[in-house]
Amino acid sequence: MDRLFGTDGVRGLANGTLTAELAMELGVAAARVLVEDGSYAGPRPLAVVGRDTRVSGQFLEHAVVAGLASAGMDVLRLRVLPTPGVAFLTGTLGADLGVVISASHNPMPDNGIKLLARGGRKLDDAVEREIEAHVGRPWDRPTGADIGRVTPYGPTVEDYAAHLVRTVERPLAGLKVVLDCAHGAASEVGPRALIDSGATVVAIGDQPDGTNINDGYGSTYLDRLSAAVLEHGADAGFAVDGDADRCLAVDHTGTVVDGDQIMAVLALGMHEQGRLVRDTVVATVMSNLGFVQALERAGITVLRTAVGDRYVLEAMNAGGYNLGGEQSGHVIMSDHATTGDGLLTALQVLARMAGTGRTLADLAGVMTRLPQVLLNVGGVDRARTDDEGVLAAVAAEEAALAGEGRVLLRPSGTEPIVRVMVEAPTQDRATAVAERLAAVVRQRLAL
């Protein structure tokens, strides 16, 4: 069969490509793999299931839970909770499987199903393939006492909020913050965690109705956050996405602070406290050169990976590093979490502000973002980016930049597109280099 799992679980149009039938089949397949493997921790395998606020999450949750229980797996229903919250409770409750029903920052009509391994970590690709192989196959259905039990888990929000608060070493009293919850999974737990940590909180995007998730609010729409920070005279603002695994910020002037700047603030703080493992941060090739330069000046190494938080996580786990992330706001702090956690990120930045007495603008000013231009060149053979003419043009432009900028060519994973990214000391120069390279790509790689 075709692959069901993408880079971040199974996603699609809810009730279109992602149906109740498919959700139930995935639940059955996941439970069968665990039951047949026999490596579960307790006398019976246990799953925890959480979701974001999309209306489609209600029927998909019931379908997944029905599949899991019908195949002999006990289930704790966590109801609405961010992805990192489900990951946390997968670990603390000793579950063998975590299930998140969310399409993250995607528009409301979409939804997704993400599976987490024991401990709240990403499921291995081999296990995903095994689950896919079980979908739709005949199976021996358990009956009687062998059918799984389904139980609501009451203190979901309380447990996760308490965990977040424990990561903050000093109260955040005196800090006023705006939190944009994207009308998503953080709408209840987000403000609670910040308030319990001592901050004064103004919440926006915290009234989900099942259809308004990510609709003009959240980490992909920062205008309302900037306006609210200025209106309320807040010290900073933070915006998470629908499942709250990413976070972007604005400072007290309403200026955006991106994921690179957030990582720089956290890395320098951890470095000063001797808590940054081997003084190394893991970031993708899309992180701005200004970020790399700022950390190198402080004696911190930046380890680069391919684009995607899964690659950041792989490198962090392989090297034992405890900080990594993406420019888009996925920040992973493995001392406290197994995945990107937007609320944790916000709390740690606020803790840095409280501990130093400095503004977010001042802290983020440690790095200067080089102007960055990204052009998508369509109608080309994305498999031939190693063309001699293209490579020669890239080498010539990089030599001309002489270490003051960089060039990155990335073929799309699904479309006949090559992405040309250029960073340079000025916007005009970055644009000129990107346009010259795009012309070479268009000419040399035309279909």
Residues with catalytic roles: 104
Of 157, 146, 7, 159, which is closest to residue 70 (Cα–Cα)? 146
Query: Which long-range contacts does 119-126 make (Cβ < 8 Å, 24+ apart)?
Result: 119/90, 119/91, 119/338, 120/86, 120/87, 120/88, 120/89, 120/90, 120/91, 120/338, 120/339, 121/87, 121/338, 122/310, 122/313, 122/338, 122/339
CB 437 within 8 A of CB 394: yes
Beta bridge partners of 332: 324
Cα dihedral: 115, 121, 123, 125 (round 10): 140
Residue with tokens 């709408």: 187
Joined tokens for residue 220: 């992909």
d(CA 199, CA 295): 29
Q: What is the H or E stretch that residue 424 is in?
A: none
Beta bridge partners of 49: 77, 99
Q: What is the H or E stretch that residue 419 is in?
A: strand 417-423
Beta bridge partners of 303: 282
CA distances from 93 to 41, 164, 217, 365, 410 (A): 11, 16, 32, 41, 41
d(CA 213, CA 241): 9
- Kind of pairing between the strands at 301-305 and 280-284: parallel
d(CA 269, CA 445): 45
